Structure 1
Amino acid sequence: MAQPSRARRFSSAGLMIAVLLALLGFTLVVQLKTTSTDPTLAATREEDLVRISSDLDSRERRLRQDIEALEESQRQLRSGEQGRQAALEEATRRADELGILAGTLPAVGPGLEVRFSGPAKAVSSTRILDAVQELRGAGAEAMQIQGADGSAARIIASTYFVDGADGALVVDGRRLTGPFTIMVIGDPATMRTALNIPGGVVASVRDGGGNVTSEDREVVEVSQLHAPIKLDHARPVS
């Protein structure tokens, strides 16, 4: 909440400096014009004219120095504000990326819907893990897997897969029943090619009597979230 107010303060300061610059410039012009057209100067002694000229020169130098100082302050304020804004945007982007990788934020984008069906030996935890690894290697950015009843689990770096009873699949402690569907965000063509390499995931599932189908999606929603890991000893530092 502090950022908007700080931005307003910098904006107000910049506006004030601009007004001061305009006033100083106007004062300088008016002063020089008034002096040059003052009729009393014609009757002024030479030494007084020299002193007046010297005073005007000094005042002009001070005004120009003030203008230069204000312009420099304005540049610094603008540069500082833009730098802070750029840093904030970069930090926000990085936080979003890390949140997606950690599974604590939802994600949306183009990708694939990959469906695994068949007997338990064909769609075992080992083959599902192989598919996840192939997708990661092909640039998958976010994934989730769901069972026939709609139960889903987010897939992150620490996710584990275990064979359950009656052909079920246990993902991070959550029991899913087949057929299984992986929703994955990434380049569809690259990921589909990775799954279909000779002797790869699709071939091994089919060898076991199962089937793998993949469908390109312009919009894939990975909405299942992974609970943040509770740390016992580590804590963030500033």
Structure 2
Amino acid sequence: MPDPTPATTPPTVAPAGPEEPRRRALRELLHPRWSRGQAVAAILLAGLGFAAAVQVRSNDQDQNFTGARQSDLIALINSLSLAAERARDEIDQLTRTRDQLRGSTSSDSAALRLAREQERTWGILAGTLAVRGPGVRITVDPRGAGVGTDQILNGLQELRDAGAESIEINDRVRVVAQTAITDTSGGGGRVAAIRVDGVTLQPPYVIDVIGDPDTLSSGVDFQGGFVTEVEDVGGAVRVERAQRIEITSLHATQRLRYATPDPQDPEGSGE
């Protein structure tokens, strides 16, 4: 007698056709499996791309030296290198002075010598001593153009940045930290002259500067510098190096009304 329970026939699995490998490849492409190495490489590449984009944007925003001549860039680099060298020399000198002051046998003589050196240095910086030395003579000819306070002040600042130790204008006015410069109008908005510390100076303006001649000359004659600014408004500048510049005008010191020494640091040590 036949078994009433029907036999269960297993489902027939159709063999994989040619479309199945394609679907599998498509799924792997849409849902890739990332290994640890691939993930690290992707992060590094993303960071590199971000840094490159930031650099490109920074270059687009800062175009101060775009189009500058190679000689101008070299002169600017040399000026910065010399300024850094002067700073290192000054640090070495101060270190030697400190070591001498710490010594018990030579502390008195070293302190006296240091005090005299500081007196001369502060006298030169304050403009109360006549000085001489190598430097440059800069002649500024406005040629009827608008050369005035803006250009002169920028030029003086560039000279200070280049290591100028003493500055004088037209053999009459000593330029110090407190020097004030204003324009004198000649009508129609034209600058007729400049007034330096209350003294009216007529053009051309002759600026005598003591310092390293090469550094000073390159410190004002570069693309976008003092010479360029004067020429842009129609003036002319001549820079002459000299092995001997004499500055004889003196700055009259003023009695201080408001600034007083710190009572907690009476010797001005700054500590």
TM-score by length of 2: 0.54
Distance 2:164 2:126 in 1: 14
Secondary structure of 2:228's counterpart equals helix
> Pick from 179, 191, 196: which aligns with 1:159?
179
Instruction: State the Cα deviation string for residues 149-200 of structure 1 (Å, max 9, x = none).
Output: x5x1110111111111431110011101000000001111111111111021
Distance 1:156 1:139 in 2: 14
Instruction: State the Cα deviation string for residues 25-64 of structure 1 (Å, max 9, x = none).
Output: xxxxxxxxxxxxxxxxxxxxxxxxxxxxxxxxxxxxxxxx
RMSD of aligned alpha carbons = 1.8
User: In the alignment, which residue of structure 2 is the partner of 1:102?
Assistant: 126
Instruction: State the Cα deviation string for residues 177-227 of structure 1 (Å, max 9, x = none).
Output: 000000001111111111111021111211222110011111111211111
User: In the alignment, which residue of structure 2 is the partner of 1:209?
Assistant: 234
Structure 1 residue 168 corresponds to structure 2 residue 193:
yes
- Provide structure 1 residue ranges, at least 5 long, that are not aligned to the other structure: 1-78
Distance 2:123 2:135 in 1: 19
Alignment of 1:135-150 (within 5 A): 135-146=159-170
Secondary structure of 2:250's counterpart equals coil
In the alignment, residue 160 of structure 2 is paired with which amino acid? Answer: R
Task: Select the structure of larger CA radius of gyration.
Answer: 2
Q: 1:210 to 1:234 in 2, by over 3 A?
A: closer
Secondary structure of 1:164's counterpart equals strand
Answer 1 or 2: which has greater helix percent: 1
> Percent sequence identity over matched residues?
39
Secondary structure of 1:205's counterpart equals helix
User: In the alignment, which residue of structure 2 is the partner of 1:88?
Assistant: 112
User: In the alignment, which residue of structure 2 is the partner of 1:194?
Assistant: 219
- Provide structure 2 residue ranges, at least 5 long, that are not aligned to the other structure: 1-103, 187-191
- How many residues align? The count is 155
Q: Which runs of 4+ in 1 moved over 3 A?
A: 119-122, 233-238
Secondary structure of 2:207's counterpart equals strand
Secondary structure of 1:193's counterpart equals helix
Structure 1 residue 177 corresponds to structure 2 residue 197:
no
Alignment of 1:104-119 (within 5 A): 104-119=128-143
- Displacement of 1:122 in angstroms is 4.1
TM-score by length of 1: 0.61
